Structure 1
Amino acid sequence: MKIVMITIMLILIVVTFIYNLFGLLGLVPLYVSSPLLFLALFILLFYINNRKKFKGF
């Protein structure tokens, strides 16, 4: 299941990257496309780093 989620998130990053390229070309607002790319990268990194951590007794 973890591989499927990471694959979906990588596809989301590619889609938002292409959307951000459209923003750089002036086809869509850049202030909308840049935060979407940031959020996609943040969610992927958060999901990869989220693990069971020892919090003490």
Structure 2
Amino acid sequence: MQKGISFLYILLIFIAVFLHFLALMDLFPLLISSPLLFFLIFIFFYRLNARHRFRGFR
């Protein structure tokens, strides 16, 4: 399940990068593509690091 979610996030990041390239060519609004790309990269690394967090002894 984790591999599927990671693959989905990577796919969404590639789509956001493509939209950002379109925005740099003035074919898509830059104000939409930049925060979208930042948010997706941030969420990807947040979820990647949250799996390996020490949660204490039980």
Runs of 4+ in 1 over 3 A off after TM superposition: none
Greater CA drift, 44-53 or 3-12: 44-53
In the superposition, the TM-score normalised over structure 2's length comes to 0.87
Q: Percent identity?
A: 30
- What residue is the counterpart of 1:5 in the other structure? 5
User: What is the number of residues matched between the two proteins?
Assistant: 57
Structure 2, unpaired ranges of 5+: none
Q: How much has 1:54 moved relative to structure 2? A: 3.2
- What residue is the counterpart of 2:27 in the other structure? 27
Distance in structure 1 (CA, Å) of the matches to 2:2 and 2:18:
25
Q: How much has 1:14 moved relative to structure 2? A: 0.2
* Aligned-residue RMSD, C-alpha: 1.6
